[in-house]
Structure 1
């Protein structure tokens, strides 16, 4: 038996016999007691037979997001350096599309997320997020709405609908996922911008937050902070570190993934008005081993507990809640991009609890974003500089 197959067989046996977690290394905070059973280290699961891995397109340059176009028209991919490309179903990669916004392509900044509007088939509307230039060496997480030309060569009518304020000089922790919500509004995630973590506890800023706006950028009147003096219009939740994954499940609930420091990556179910604890509470530690805040791990009762956390980290990118025909056993599960995990991380989700975890295509490279194709196969982009790829998992 080949080593990879032997590992899968061993994991399957371990999961069924002893409910062992996926073997991912030693924790950074080994002395932490989870707030409830199943909050971390869910039993390892293995899909059998293993999904087939294939390459859709090569030669992408540091992609950040992938979106599936309707009608079999292929895919759109953002590249962090500031380009948007169309990938045909046969893998042909287009020249850069015209009309993208100016971005600060420095460190973690650049052209970031992409999401199609729910009515894209009629309106051709889409949303982009990016690190927008702001003053001398400054930048801010921003989101814009635009339309895609019928010939797939440009975007038109770009209109900014959100900009983080104040801007910051640090080129990291932009967050930057954008997700249309069932009520017609749009959720935009942000990060704490690295050296400004304390602002994640301030509802007056858009730091370390989930923001909800209407497609034109106006704030909904029913926001949970609407009556709080000085609170940012449209603020949905705060106390996050760096939210780089977001998706809506079949019940209309918004889930997000955020990067922890050393340990403490979190899967959070968004409660309107919720404070998620950063930088006061964390299941991780600083990269130099120092405690976060006063060393507190448990979030409750002051803050919302993560529904799941990782230690060591997976370094999450984008995520989807699986809804497809090809893998019926995955229906309703979370598929998350793992940069450090170098895998697509599947979380078996039952109501609001993670009951199992699997690492798909483990070792393929840094996985930045995940999408579900029209046939139910799973697409993902790797983040490997100019050698990045668009890949597929299928039966």
Structure 2
């Protein structure tokens, strides 16, 4: 391990996720609209309440999860690999992973542990698969992680798919989170750069989906009495959901990449419609206006939004004490914003509390059970970083 100087990541800046990346992931900061979002300039990492340690290297890392009670973590690489990181040891390939459709924003996605992982060894994964006629869609599966000898997945079972599959390789989202009681699996499903599906109740695109752990639909879902994918829907009117996190009181938050100048964080409520593409605090990338949220009060408005855009990457709730003043905050990575953003939770409100400039794209944020925060940087030379609290 080594300490990383404040500007050491400059060489890691990646202009885009890939040739097929959507503008929301790669575009320069938006200056077209006046910044009414209350954003503040980023603070140099040297002035943060932590130092940064570079721990490990990965190839296009996308998501990670720590295994409680161990010195292990699972990390997905977008091209299709699942890695078992061992603190102080080598990083191993996990066998038995599904084939993924890699390209654009597609590939391997999220990884989380089942609520009963200590007993079952079950993990949940998301990835992109190809369909007929050049179409693609995200899927979610579960499998048992076997760690005896060489690590491998066994009994992989797909439990959910984006419906319909559509052309293009953007805005899959496929972020996962279990409710704190372990009863429900929430899935972020992007609108796949197709706009209208976010409001189409016959599609599960542009939605947050709520399922039982086996993939079945809970009887108390808000649209459970309707047939097909409609029954899966928990909330709608979303764009590109790249972070889901429950706070200490059990409320669900999401962040999503908005259009130009419209990245947002929402407090997610059952049956709520967040308005995309009818309203947004951003504009289309071709310059066409989208009415702002206040023009349509029937839609749920974001708790925070960013203009210029920061391109959110990863979201975690922090409830620890390792960093002074951080308790009960949301931590969000920034891709085009190249940093880490802290938002203090105050009842139903959020406050933009801190923003640190890392000089590189932050794809993932995770809080470990010991209270430390860890990050994954984006791209071919992605890094696992530990934020070491200053004493």
TM-score, structure 1 normalization: 0.86
Shift of 1:327: 1.8
- For the residue of structure 2 that corresponds to 1:263, the secondary structure is coil
Q: CA deviation at 1:300?
A: 4.2
**Cα-to-partner distance string for 1:275-320 (whole Å, 9 max, x where unaligned):** 110000011111222213xx34426422101111011111111111
CA distance in 1, matches of 2:29, 2:174: 29
Q: 1:119 to 1:302 in 2, by over 3 A?
A: same
Q: Quick one: distance in 2 between partners of 1:326 and 1:378?
A: 9
Give 1:237's aligned residue. Answer: 235
CA 1:392–1:352 in structure 2 vs 1: closer, same or farther (change >3 Å)? Answer: same
Given the alignment, which residue of 118, 122, 139 partners 2:136?
139
1-side partners of 2:239 and 2:29: how far apart?
23
CA distance in 2, matches of 1:357, 1:298: 24
Q: Deviations over 1:125-166 (max 9, x none)?
A: 111111122123221111111111123611111111110111
Residue 331 of structure 2: aligned partner: 335
**Which residues of structure 2 form unaligned runs of 5+?**
1-5, 8-27
Separation (CA, whole Å) in 2 of partners of 1:303 and 1:320: 25
- Residues 28 and 284, structure 1, Cα contact 8 Å, conserved in 2: no
CA contact (8 A) 2:204 2:232 kept: no
Write the distance in 2 (CA, Å) between the matches of 1:313 and 1:156: 41
More strand by share: 2
Quick check: 2:204–2:229 contact (8 Å CA) kept in 1?
A: no
Alpha carbons of structure 1 residues 91 and 322: separation in structure 2 relative to 1, 3 Å? farther
| Helix, strand or coil at the partner of 1:298 | helix
| Cα deviations by residue, 1:171-216 (Å, 9 ceiling, x for unpaired) | 110011000113411000011111x210110111111100011111
State yes or no: 1:114 paired with 2:118.
no
Alignment of 1:321-360 (within 5 A): 321-360=317-356
Task: Determine if contact 1:179/1:186 at 8 Å carries over to the other structure.
Answer: yes
- Structure 2 counterpart SS, 1:329: coil
**Alignment CA distance shift 1:339-1:26 (3 Å):** closer
Separation (CA, whole Å) in 1 of partners of 2:42 and 2:327? 15
1:266 aligned onto 2:227: no
Conserved? CA contact 1:81–1:110, under 8 Å: yes
Aligned-partner Cα distance in 2 for 1:354–1:296:
19
Q: CA RMSD in A?
A: 2.3
Structure 1 partner of 2:10: none
SS, match of residue 197 in structure 2: helix
Are the counterparts in 2 of residues 72 and 374 from structure 1 also a CA contact under 8 Å? no
What is the count of residue pairs matched by the alignment?
Answer: 361
Q: Deviations over 1:51-91 (max 9, x none)?
A: 11011102x11010011112223211000000000111126
Aligned positions of 1:182-221 closer than 5 A? 182-183=180-181, 184-194=183-193, 196-221=194-219
| Structure with higher RCO (Cα < 8 A, 6+ apart) | 2
Q: How far 1:325 sits from its partner (Å)? A: 3.3
> Which residue number corresponds to residue 377 of structure 1?
372
Question: Cα distance, 1:384 vs. partner?
Answer: 2.1
Q: Aligned match of 1:124 in 104, 121, 124?
A: 121
Cα offset, 1:229, TM superposition? 6.3
1:29 aligns with 2:30: no
SS of the counterpart of 1:72? Answer: coil
TM-score between the two structures when normalised by the length of structure 2: 0.87
Measure the CA separation in 1 of the matches of 2:180 and 2:81: 29
